Amino acid sequence: MTTAEPILYNPFEPGYFDDPYSQFARLRELDPVHATLDGNWMLFRYDDCFRVLRDPSLSVDDRNIRQSRKAEQLEALRVEDRGEPSMLGLDPPDHDRLRRLVSKAFTPRSIEALRPRVQVLVDRALDRVEPDGHIDLVGDLAFPLPFQVISEMLGMPEADMLQVRDWSNQMVKTLDPVISDDEIRASMAASLAMQDYLGGVISWKRENPADDMLTALIHAEEDGDRLTTTELMSQVALLFIAGHETTVNLIGNGTRALLRHRDQWDALVAEPALIMHGIDELLRFDPPVQISRRIALADMEIDGRRIEAGTFMATVLASANRDPAKWGPTADRLDLNRADAGQHLSFGSGVHYCLGSSLAKLEGQVAIGTFVRRFPHATLDDVPARWNGRINLRGLDALPITLR
Ligand code: HEM
């Protein structure tokens, strides 16, 4: 290919789900600061993503977006007021106030205290499938584990997991860079159903307070200076959805990567403690969230390209994580011993750096570490990968594995 050929980001290119990385490599080399047809920009290099994510002059608040086809499309199909954004869609100081309210529950220390409970849940899940000699690693472990953990942390009632899974599945589609009108309608209907459901949960929790995050947030709401009712709702929805829609991909994609790189799997079998550090390499190699975002509030320049105020910029974390300018010639190799793997951008960077990163890593370490230890001879079934169809939260719907 020559530089004269136009190159376009195209998530519908055949084979994209199996391997988005070769397209990212082309874009990173030929057009790393990339204008999309619908008025957005995409950044493919590590340094650009890193700088933009940490730039305090940029916004995450969608209300600042101008001239984006997707933003117009979302606006045109909106079925009711959008309510308050969650902390992920708010800039300081509102962002900081909301983040402070829940951050205590997410310190590395509070999270480490959950390790024994997570181990129990993983052991139980694996005990259940062991007699069959077979597992769907996503349906039997990667999805239910984070769902159960975040439900317990929040203090949710026993939920109809499949129904909730279906709603959040539709809702997170709006995080994709390209989305159809039908998908937007389905997402908005799911979002309303989820709001109804969470509204019911919050009323129930008012009657049944306990030592959990939901009760703490309700108290903050009752002390009206700290949290409004709509803010309460969006914090709960964010924690609940972010708590399970992402970690499922870490466990699913991570296990698949190891089974497809048998030398790394064997290294983990030989040295189980390697998972403690190796989890960062799994996050780097095939990130559960492929893209984050910032919005320009004033005209700016990146690499000589002029970005206008109100422009949506997608920071392609999954491309940054494979940028040879950052990682050297081994950028595309899975290496659990990579010394600087922890510098991946899979959790974003700056003030919005993932609040749940310690929790996600803990769940990944226990789930993948225990699976490898118990089933060292496991093999992937010889079937095509079943991707979930999401461009951003790219992961598997199922991962069938024979245990021995
Ligand atoms: C492997 C799993 C996970 C990945 C890859 C991930 C990734 C991310 C990313 C990329 C961001 C945006 C950061 C930025 O733009 O700078 C984010 C924010 C966030 N994540 Fe996660 N996440 C994961 C798990 C979790 C879990 C388990 C929770 C909590 C229960 C969580 C809660 C949040 C919250 C609350 C934010 C917003 C933080 C803020 O705006 O200050 N995440 N996450």
* pLDDT the model gives residue 276: 98
For ligand 1, mutation pick of 145, 172, 354 (most atoms within 8 Å of CB): 354
Q: Which two tokens stand for residue 37?
A: 């047809």
pLDDT tens-place string over residues 106-163: 999 999 999 999 999 999 999 999 999 999 999 999 999 999 999 999 998 887 778 8
Sign of CA dihedral 328, 331, 337, 340: positive
Q: How far apart are the CA of 343 and the centre of ligand 1, in A?
A: 16
**With helix as H, strand as E and coil as C, how does 120-143 read?**
HHHHHHHHHHHHHCEEEHHHHHHC
C-alpha to C-alpha distance for 382 and 193, rounded to whole angstroms? 38
Ligand 1 atom, smallest distance to 292 CA = 15
Average the pLDDT over each of 102-111, 292-301, 335-344 and give the range with the smallest value.
Answer: 102-111
pLDDT-based confidence at residue 79 (cuts at 50, 70, 90)? low
Q: Which two tokens stand for residue 343?
A: 């510098």
Mean pLDDT of the chain: 93
What domains can you pick out in the chain, each with its CATH number?
21-402 (1.10.630.10)
pLDDT tens-place string over residues 31-72: 999 999 888 999 999 999 999 999 999 999 988 998 777 777
C-alpha to C-alpha distance for 38 and 147, rounded to whole angstroms? 35
| pLDDT: which is higher, 105 or 29 | 29
First to last CA, the chain: 45
Q: How far apart are the CA of 88 and the centre of ligand 1, in A?
A: 8
| 5: pLDDT strictly greater than 70 | no
Q: How far apart are the CA of 130 and the centre of ligand 1, in A?
A: 32
CB 179, CB 70: distance < 8 Å = yes
Residue 339 is classified by DSSP as T
AA identity, residue 114: L
Backbone dihedral region for residue 218 (phi beyond 0: left; psi -120 to 50: alpha; all else: beta) = alpha
Ligand 1 atom, smallest distance to 364 CA = 1
Report the SS3 class of residue 384: coil
Residue with token string 């492929």? 290
| 4: pLDDT strictly greater than 80 | no
CB 23, CB 3: distance < 8 Å = no
* pLDDT the model gives residue 174: 87
Long-range contacts of the stretch 108-112 (C-beta < 8 A, 24+)? 108/358, 111/358, 111/359, 111/362, 112/358, 112/362
| pLDDT: which is higher, 45 or 187 | 45
Coarse DSSP helix, strand, coil percentages of the chain, rounded to the nearest 5 percent: 55, 10, 35
Give the helix/strand (H/E) hosting 242: helix 229-245
Taking CA atoms only, the protein residue closest to ligand 1 atom 1 is 247
Cis peptide before 384 (omega within 30 of 0): no
CA-nearest of 95, 63, 86 to 240 is 86
| 291: pLDDT strictly greater than 70 | yes
- The residues pairing with 396 across neighbouring beta strands, listed in sequence order, are 387
Q: Output the DSSP codes for 50-87.
A: HHHHH-TTSB--GGG--S-HHHHHHHHH--S------G
pLDDT tens-place string over residues 227-281: 888 888 889 999 989 988 999 999 999 999 999 999 999 999 999 999 999 999 9
pLDDT-based confidence at residue 2 (cuts at 50, 70, 90)? very low
Ligand 1 atom, smallest distance to 86 CA = 40
| 81: pLDDT strictly greater than 80 | no
pLDDT-based confidence at residue 80 (cuts at 50, 70, 90)? low
| 200: pLDDT strictly greater than 60 | yes
Q: How far apart are the CA of 57 and the centre of ligand 1, in A?
A: 21
Report the SS3 class of residue 38: coil
pLDDT-based confidence at residue 76 (cuts at 50, 70, 90)? confident
Q: Which two tokens stand for residue 91?
A: 């800039």
Residue with token string 């997170």? 172
Q: How far apart are the CA of 106 and the centre of ligand 1, in A?
A: 11
Taking CA atoms only, the protein residue closest to ligand 1 atom 31 is 356
CA-nearest of 200, 212, 227, 224 to 94 is 227
| 188: pLDDT strictly greater than 70 | yes
Ligand 1 atom, smallest distance to 60 CA = 15
**Axis-axis angle for helices 94-103, 229-245 (nearest 10):** 60
**H-assigned helices in 261-378:** 262-270, 274-285, 317-320, 324-327, 357-374
Taking CA atoms only, the protein residue closest to ligand 1 atom 37 is 88
Taking CA atoms only, the protein residue closest to ligand 1 atom 38 is 352
| 1: pLDDT strictly greater than 50 | no
Around ligand 1, the residues with Cβ closer than 6 Å are 53, 87-88, 99, 150, 238-239, 242-243, 246-247, 250, 287-289, 292, 346-350, 352-356, 359-360
What is the pairing mode between strands 396-398 and 386-387?
antiparallel
| 166: pLDDT strictly greater than 90 | no
pLDDT tens-place string over residues 201-214: 999 999 999 999 99
CB 342, CB 276: distance < 8 Å = no
